[in-house]
Structure 1
Amino acid sequence: MFAYYFQLGLRSLRRNPILTALMVMAIGFGVAASMTTYSVFRATSNNPIPQKSSQLFAVQIDNWGPEDNDKGEPASSLNYTDSIALMKAHKAKRQTALYPVGLAAVPADANLLPFRTNGYAVYGDAFPMFDMPFLYGGGWSSAEDDGHAAVVVIARSINDKLFNGANSVGREINLDGHNYRVTGVLDSWDPKPLFFDPVNTSGFDDPVDLFIPFTRAIELKMSTNGNNNCNKNPGDGWDAWLHSECIWAQFWVEAPSKADVDTYRQFLQGYAAEQQRAGRFHWAPNVRTRDVMDWLDHQNVVPAESKISLLVAMGFLLICLVNTVGLLLAKFMRRAPEIGVRRALGASRREIYGQFLIEAGTVGLAGGLLGLLLTGLGVFGVSLVFDPKIARLATLDASLVALTMLVAVLATVLAAFYPTWRAAQVQPAWQLKSN
C-alpha cells in the first residue's frame, strides 16, 4: 500500500499546482535557511579531537592576582617561568608548552621565492598528545628537546612545495637563515576548531605549516607571533621579558583518567601555594584545568552570530511549517467527498491517515529537493555574513544532504498530522447525502 499511496501523493502534486507550489516553497525556504546556518554552527561547534578531547587539558595559573584577572578567572595563557616549571615537574603523562612563531622558509631551489610559514614552537610530547598523523617519519625525542636541537616537523603542503612530495625525513630546510633537519612530515591534519590555541586564532586559522622545538625557539630568541599581554612594564631586553609576568604561552597536559586529572590539579594547587609562600604570589592559589570542549566553550569559539542565526532560522522554519499546516488543511478538506466515498466503501481511519501522511511526505520530498538547491546556494554565500575563515568551514557534504532531506520530510509529515486528523473525521453519510 505504501507504493500505491506514494503514487497517489505524486499525482496530488499536480492536482492543485498552486497550493502545491506554495507548500514546496515554504518548506524549501524554511529548510534551506535552517540548514545553511546549521552548517556554520556545526563546523564551529565541532569536537576537533573526539577520541581524546576528555583527556587533554588546558592549564591556567593566576600569576597577576585578583586586581588584574577577569571576575576571578585566571588568564588564558602562562608566562615563561610557570611554563618551564611545569615542564620540568613532568607531573602528567604528557605535556607541552607552545606558542606561535612566524618563520620564513628559504627554498634550496633558486627558482622558488622565500615564503612565510604559520608555525608553532612545541615540545615533542605534542605529537602523540594531539594524535597528529604522519606521512613520513615522526616527531622528535625528549633528548632533542633538552638539547635545543635544530629539528622540524613539516606539513604535507610544505613538503610538496619544497620536496615535491618525496620522503624528506633527514633532509634540511632553511628557516630564517638557520638549517633544520626534518624528522617528520605530517599527513593532512587541520583540526577545526584549532583547539590547542584558540587564544591566538579564535579557533579558526590557516593550517599549521610546521613545528619546531620550544627550547630551540627560546634559544634563538623567537618572539611570539600571537598575543603578548603584560600587566606591568617587563623591562628592556629578551631576558627581562622572558622572566617577567608577561603571558604568551599555552600549556596542555594529557591525563587519561579522572584520578590523573585530580592528581594534576592537586599538583597545580601545590605549585601555586609554593609560589605564594615564596612571595611571588600575594593571593590564594587560583588555577584551572579544562578539557578540550570546556576550553573551547570558555574561549567562546562558537561565534555568537552563528547561534543567533541558527535560532532565527529555526524560527523561520517554524513559521513556514505553520503556513504549511494551513495549506495542507485546505488541500485535504477540499477532498472531503473523496474521503467520504472511501470510508463508505470500507476504508478505515488508519488507511486515511496512511494515505494523507504519505502524500504529505511527497510534498516534503519535493520541498527538500528545493531546499537542497537553496542550501547549496546558501553555503556558497555564507562568506557574505560570516568571517571568511569560518565561512570556508561550511560545506554541503553527504551528511548535510541527508539531514536536509530528512528534516524536510519529517517536518512536513509532522505538520500534516492535524490536517490528516481533520480529514479522517469526515463523516461518510454526510458526504454521500450532500453529493
Structure 2
Amino acid sequence: MFAYYLQLGLRSLQRNPVLTALMVMAIGFGVAASMTTYSVFLATSSNPIPHKSSQLYAVQVDNWGPEDSDKGEPPDSLNYTDAMALMAAHRAPRQTALYPVGVSVVPDDQSQLPSPESTYATYGDAFAMFDVPFLHGSGWGAAEDDAHAAVAVISRVLNDKLFRGANSVGRQINLDGRNYRITGVMDSWDPQPLFFDAVNTSGFSDPVQIFIPFTRAVELKMATAGNNNCNRDPGLGWDAWLHSECIWIQYWAELPDRAQAAAYRQYLHGYAAEQQRTGRFRWAPNVRLSNVEQWMDHLKVVPPEAKISLLVALGFLLICLVNTVGLLLAKFMRRAPEIGVRRALGASRKTVYAQFLIEAATVGLTGGALGLLLTGVGVLCVGLVFDPQIARLATLDLSLIALTLLVAVLSTVLAAFYPTWRAAQVQPAWQLKSN
C-alpha cells in the first residue's frame, strides 16, 4: 500500500505543479536557513575534548582585588608569580602553564623569507593532558622543562612543508635564528573551540603549529603574543614585568575525579590565604576552578550572532511551515469530491490519513533535496556573516545531510496533520449529493 500511496502522491504533485513548487520552495528555503545556522552553532558550541572535559580545569587566582574585578570574578589569566608557585607545588597529577609567543620559522634557503607560525610555550604535561596525537615521536618530558631545553613539537602541516612529510624527529628547526631539536610531530589536531587558550583567541584560531618549553621561552625573554593586562605600571625591564601583577598566563590542571578537584580547590584557597597573610593580597581569597565546559560558558565562547541567527532561522522555518499548512489545506480540500467517492467505496479515514501524509512526505523529501542544495551554498557563504575563523568550522558532512532531509520530511508531515485531518472529515454523502 505504501508504494500505491506514493504513486498517488506523485501523480497529485504533477497535477498541481505551481502549488507543488511553492510548497517545495517554502520547505527548501526554511530548512536551508535553519540547517546552515545550526551547523555554525553546533561547531561553536561543541565540546572540544568530550572524553576529558570534566577532568581538565582552568585555574583562576584573584591577584588584583575587588576594586579591579569584574562582578567579583577573578581575572581570567594568572601572573608569572602565581603560575610558578602552582607549578612548584605540583598538587595536580598533570599541570601546565602556557602562553602564545610570536615565533617565525627561518628556512634553510636564505632566499626565502621567515614565516610566522602559531606557537605556544607550555610544559611537557600539556601533550598528555590535551590528548595531542602524534604522527612521529612524542612531546618532551620534565627533564627538558627543568633544563630549559631547546626542543620543539611541530604540526603535521609544518612537517610536510619543511621536511616533505618525512620523520623529522631529531632534526633541527630554526625559530627566530635559534635551532630547536624536534621531539615529535603532531598528527592532525585542531580542537575547536580552542579551549586551552580561549582567553586570547575567543575560542577560535588557526591550528597550533609549534610548541616549545615554557621555561625556554621565559629564559629567552619571549613576550606574550596574547593579552597582557596590568592593573598598575609594572616598571621597566623584563624582570620587573615578570614579577609584576600583570596577567598573561593560562594555567590548566588535570584532576581525574571530584575528590582531587575538591582537594585542589582547597589548596588554591589556602594559597590565596597565605598570600593574604604575607600582605601581598589585601582581600579575602578569591579563586575559581572551572572544567572545560564551565570555562567555555564563563568566557561566552559561543558567538551571540550564532545564537541569534539560529533563532531567526528557526522562526523563518516556522513561517514557511505555516505557509505550507495553508497550501496543503487548499490542495487537499480541492480533492473533496475524490475523497468522498473513496470513502463511499469503503476507504477508511485511516487510509485517507496514510495517503495524504505520504504525499506530504514526498513534498518534504523534494523540499529537503532543494534545502540540501541551498544548505551547501549557505555553508560556503557563511563567511559573509561570521568571522572567517568561525566560518571555516561549518561543514556539510553526512550527519548534516541526513539531518537536513529528516527535518524537511518530518516538519512537512507534521505540517500536514491539520490539512489531512480536515480532508478526512469530508462527508461522503454530502459530496456525492452535491457533485
1:132 maps to a residue whose letter is V
1:361 maps to a residue whose letter is A
1:23-422 correspondence to structure 2 within 5 Å: 23-110=23-110, 112-422=112-422
**Distance in 2, Cα, partners of 1:18 & 1:101:** 61
Deviation at 1:381, TM superposition (A): 1.0
2:299 maps to a residue whose letter is Q
Deviation at 1:100, TM superposition (A): 0.1
Cα deviation 1:237-264 (Å, max 9, x = unaligned):
0000000000000000111111111111
Structure 2 SS opposite 1:426? coil
Deviates more, 1:346-355 or 1:63-72: 346-355
Deviation at 1:112, TM superposition (A): 3.9
Structure 1 SS opposite 2:356? helix
**Distance in 2, Cα, partners of 1:160 & 1:321:** 50
2:90 maps to a residue whose letter is H
**Distance in 2, Cα, partners of 1:264 & 1:85:** 14
Deviates more, 1:187-196 or 1:11-20: 11-20
Deviation at 1:108, TM superposition (A): 2.2
Does structure 1 residue 12 correspond to structure 2 residue 17? no
Deviation at 1:294, TM superposition (A): 1.3
Structure 1 SS opposite 2:223? coil
2:414 maps to a residue whose letter is L
CA RMSD of the aligned region, Å?
0.9
**Distance in 2, Cα, partners of 1:2 & 1:261:** 58
**Distance in 1, Cα, partners of 2:38 & 2:226:** 30
Structure 1 SS opposite 2:66? coil
**Distance in 1, Cα, partners of 2:110 & 2:64:** 49
**Distance in 2, Cα, partners of 1:160 & 1:109:** 16
Cα deviation 1:383-433 (Å, max 9, x = unaligned):
111111111111111111111111000000000000111111111111111
**Distance in 1, Cα, partners of 2:111 & 2:352:** 75
**Distance in 1, Cα, partners of 2:310 & 2:304:** 10
Cα deviation 1:309-338 (Å, max 9, x = unaligned):
110110010011011101100111111111
Q: Give the TM-score normalised by the residue count of structure 2.
A: 0.99
**Distance in 2, Cα, partners of 1:112 & 1:11:** 67
Structure 2 SS opposite 1:188? coil
Deviation at 1:111, TM superposition (A): 5.2
Structure 2 SS opposite 1:196? helix
1:332 maps to a residue whose letter is F
**Distance in 1, Cα, partners of 2:8 & 2:296:** 51
Cα deviation 1:107-129 (Å, max 9, x = unaligned):
22445432111100000000000
1:11 maps to a residue whose letter is R
Deviates more, 1:293-302 or 1:205-214: 293-302
Cα deviation 1:180-200 (Å, max 9, x = unaligned):
110000000011111100111
**Distance in 1, Cα, partners of 2:309 & 2:333:** 36
Deviation at 1:4, TM superposition (A): 1.4
1:367 maps to a residue whose letter is G
2:30 maps to a residue whose letter is G
**Distance in 2, Cα, partners of 1:161 & 1:323:** 54
**Distance in 2, Cα, partners of 1:313 & 1:108:** 52
- The gaps in structure 1 that reach 5 residues or longer are none
Cα deviation 1:188-213 (Å, max 9, x = unaligned):
00111111001111111111110000
State the 4+ residue runs in structure 1 displaced beyond 4 angstroms. none
1:76 maps to a residue whose letter is D
Structure 2 SS opposite 1:99? strand
Deviates more, 1:167-176 or 1:238-247: 167-176
1:22 is aligned to 22
Question: What is the aligned residue count?
Answer: 435
**Distance in 1, Cα, partners of 2:368 & 2:262:** 49
2:373 maps to a residue whose letter is L
Distance 1:251 1:74, change over 3 A: same
**Distance in 1, Cα, partners of 2:26 & 2:347:** 32
Deviates more, 1:334-343 or 1:315-324: 334-343
2:354 maps to a residue whose letter is G
